[in-house]
């Protein structure tokens, strides 16, 4: 029988239960349908569900006859060990009416300023964690030393990420400056030292294997277009039929990250691929639609397409769709494309973001000769 291991975790400041098991379509369907609030975490590489008092009972009922659930780890002494380290789990505390009102005020202000939905959600969750941490003191009584204490007593012991810490600092700066106009010395708040991670890049043979794996024409076209144009997942799914200008050999990518539009050149090969796809599927509004006419193809379904392609191509690396975008940029650089053009093609605001690809370009690194070779 299939086996699932359940463990308690803290994900972005919230109590969750992670479910560990080898990839399985049937189990994933049971999780999606049986657990409201179930989510896939790219960072943890697993599914996770809300942590409630009857989570063990829910697990047993939902997977009965389908899988053996080992939920012993749910009752392990992780919480006690965290307390011994001085960890105070504020995510489980109920929000006071004052905190709810303040979070709503921040949300409305950010919506008015047209922040993206994801940014609004992450800022509100980050602010909620901080305000619960300093409770029962009021928000206006906080100072920069509270933030230092929050990092040392909550973020670090809880194993929360650099990005979460950065989000908390950003959210608090915005909240104290724009919402309650406090004398909080937000300018003195220090962000964590940045992580300098290299982009994950596939070689051309691996890309070819992945793009050739899907037998479904729509799946193959979607994956190929991400690599052919260096698109983000959301950019691909938001494409409309009118965004393809075949006469000018251009793809118009609209309202991307930072609310910017950009043009990406498309080759004859790409245009032919899109024409073949259009003849078969005849999409109505969106270039790539799901099973319901007029509805965008879902992000989760696209991730499943990639997973199946990786299995068929026998690639064991933890590849995500964004790896194809990284590979596009790196392969352009190795082919001699100027970094400034790559910046435009990717839609990067700063050239410093694009420069990370110089660190993974084989063309540059392979020119370096080790002194070992001369010994």
Q: Identify the CATH number of the domain in which residue 277 sits.
A: 1.10.443.10
Q: What is the dihedral of CA 336, 341, 346, 348, to 10 degrees?
A: 120
Same domain assignment for residues 244 and 339: yes
Question: How many Å apart are CA 356 and CA 338, to the nearest integer?
Answer: 14
Of 188, 219, 239, which residue sits at a domain end? 188
The reply to whether 319 falls in a domain is yes
**What residue ranges of the chain have pLDDT lower than 70?**
13, 53-54, 71-95, 183-197, 258, 360-375
Q: Give the pLDDT confidence score for residue 237 in this predicted structure.
A: 94
328 catalytically annotated: no
Residue with tokens 């206006």: 140
Which of 16, 128, 326, 348 is catalytic? The answer is: 348
Order the strands of the 14-20 sheet from edge to edge.
39-41, 46-50, 14-20, 2-11, 67-70
Q: Give the pLDDT confidence score for residue 184 in this predicted structure.
A: 66
Q: Which residues sit opposite 14 in a β-bridge? A: 11
- The string of DSSP letters for 292-342 reads STTSBPPHHHHHHHHHHHHHHHT--S---HHHHHHHHHHHHHHTT--HHHH
Of 17, 51, 76, which residue sits at a domain end? 76
Which of 45, 100, 248, 257 is catalytic? The answer is: 257
Of 76, 108, 128, which residue sits at a domain end? 76
Which of 128, 219, 325, 326 is catalytic? The answer is: 325
Q: Nearest to residue 160, comparing CAs of 189, 186, 127, 126?
A: 126
Q: Give the pLDDT confidence score for residue 106 in this predicted structure.
A: 95
348 catalytically annotated: yes
Same domain assignment for residues 221 and 118: no
325 catalytically annotated: yes
Q: Give the pLDDT confidence score for residue 362 in this predicted structure.
A: 64
Q: What is the dihedral of CA 194, 196, 202, 203, to 10 degrees?
A: 150
Same domain assignment for residues 174 and 256: no
The reply to whether 245 falls in a domain is yes
322 catalytically annotated: yes
**Number of C-beta neighbours around residue 170 at 10 A:** 18
359 catalytically annotated: no
Sign of CA dihedral 204, 205, 210, 215: positive
Same domain assignment for residues 219 and 178: no
Same domain assignment for residues 71 and 128: no
| Domain boundaries, position 34 | 2-76
Residues 161-205 pLDDT 10s: 777 888 888 899 899 989 988 766 656 666 666 656 678 889 999
pTM of the model: 0.60
């Amino acid at each position: 029988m299939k086996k699932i291991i359940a463990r308690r975790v803290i994900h972005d400041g919230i109590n969750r239960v992670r479910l560990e098991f080898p990839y399985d379509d049937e189990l994933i369907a049971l999780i999606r349908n049986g657990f409201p609030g179930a989510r896939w975490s790219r960072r943890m590489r697993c599914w996770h569900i809300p942590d409630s008092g009857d989570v063990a009972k829910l697990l047993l009922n939902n997977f009965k006859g389908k899988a053996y659930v080992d939920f012993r780890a749910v009752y392990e002494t992780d919480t006690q060990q965290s307390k011994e380290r001085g960890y105070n789990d504020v995510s489980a505390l109920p929000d006071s009416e004052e905190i709810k009102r303040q979070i709503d005020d921040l949300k409305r202000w950010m919506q008015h300023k047209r922040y993206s939905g994801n940014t609004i959600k992450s800022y509100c969750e980050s602010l909620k964690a901080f305000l619960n941490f300093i409770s029962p003191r009021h928000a206006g009584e906080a100072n920069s030393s509270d933030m230092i204490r929050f990092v040392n007593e909550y973020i670090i012991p809880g194993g929360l990420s650099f990005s979460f810490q950065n989000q908390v600092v950003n959210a608090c700066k915005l909240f104290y400056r724009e919402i309650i106009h406090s004398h909080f010395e937000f300018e003195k708040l220090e962000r964590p030292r940045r992580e300098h991670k290299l982009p994950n890049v596939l070689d051309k043979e691996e890309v070819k294997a992945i793009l050739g794996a899907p037998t479904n024409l729509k799946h193959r076209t979607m994956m190929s277009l991400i690599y052919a144009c260096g698109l983000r997942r959301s950019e691909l799914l938001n494409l409309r039929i009118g965004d393809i200008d075949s006469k000018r050999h251009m793809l118009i990518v609209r309202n991307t990250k930072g609310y910017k539009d950009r043009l990406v050149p498309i080759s004859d090969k790409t245009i032919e691929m899109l024409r073949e796809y259009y003849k078969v599927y005849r999409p109505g509004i969106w270039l790539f639609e799901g099973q319901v006419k007029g509805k965008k193809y879902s992000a989760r379904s696209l991730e499943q397409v990639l997973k199946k392609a990786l299995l068929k191509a026998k690639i064991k690396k933890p590849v995500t769709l964004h790896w194809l975008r990284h590979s596009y940029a790196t392969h352009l650089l190795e082919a001699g494309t100027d970094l400034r053009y790559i910046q435009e093609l990717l839609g990067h605001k700063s050239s410093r973001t694009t420069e990370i690809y110089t660190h993974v370009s084989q063309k540059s690194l392979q020119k370096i000769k080790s002194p070992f070779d001369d010994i």
